[in-house]
Amino acid sequence: MRIYDGSPRQDWEDVLRAVGAFADRERLKEILLLELEGGFVLQGLALPESGQWSESVGQLAARTYELTDEQVAQLLDEATSNRGTATEPHPHVEIANFYENALRVLGGWIDAQKPRDVFFFEQEGAFVFRMLIATATSTGHQLAEFTKDEILAMIDAAPQQREPASEARAKP
């Protein structure tokens, strides 16, 4: 990830988990994320606060956030301190912390791809990615798509894929 080159936070899994937690707090749906030279653009439709009454009930408001490197670092710190605290179920997919969990597992997948540039959007729980991949012989964009059911399966499988810290430290 170019914005974290040379820093201890170089993986997409942690960064996207923090951005996902932010999207959950902002009650976004139908998100889009574009990597910039110095951060990200996050865009989505904001859901009204639960229990909030207005004459425009049911209307969604478009929100766009430019998240600078410094803001992403702050989101990483906040996400680390808030781990293990669930929010109310996201009305879009009916599970708590949907974007935090979905973007974490997708970040792990992105880490394995080692892209140079990432763009993705989400619609109704499904994600479409465009990544610039450079190999020794070529450079080009690749597309990937994950259905809502695939995302939910990845979230469910994630705890079994993590190794307990005590076991990791015990290995030679």
Closest among 49, 48, 76, 70 to 61, alpha carbons compared: 48
DSSP H or E stretch at residue 149: helix 148-161
Using the predicted structure, report yes or no on whether residue 89 has a pLDDT greater than 60.
Answer: no
Q: How far apart, in whole angstroms, are the C-alpha atoms of residue 57 and residue 169?
A: 52
Using the predicted structure, report yes or no on whether residue 81 has a pLDDT greater than 80.
Answer: no
Number of domains in the chain: 1
Mean pLDDT of 159-171: 56
Give the model's confidence band at 62: pLDDT under 50 very low, under 70 low, under 90 confident, else very high. Answer: very high
* Residue 55: domain span: 2-170
Q: How far apart, in whole angstroms, are the C-alpha atoms of residue 97 and residue 4?
A: 25
Cα dihedral sign for 168, 1, 93, 65?
A: positive
Helix (H/G/I), strand (E/B), else coil: 169: helix
Torsion, CA 50, CA 56, CA 59, CA 60, rounded to 10: -70
State pTM to two decimals: 0.80
Question: DSSP string spanning 57-121?
Answer: TT--EEEEEEEEHHHHHHHHHHHHHHTT---SBPTTTSSBTHHHHHHHHHHHHHHHH--SEEEEE
Give the model's confidence band at 53: pLDDT under 50 very low, under 70 low, under 90 confident, else very high. Answer: very low
| Out of 25-34, 70-79, 114-123, 154-163, least confident range | 154-163
Percentage of residues in the chain with pLDDT exceeding 90?
55
Task: Encode pLDDT of 90-128 as tens digits.
Answer: 555 567 889 999 999 999 999 998 888 899 999 999 999
pLDDT value, residue 63: 96
Q: What is the mean pLDDT of the chain?
A: 82
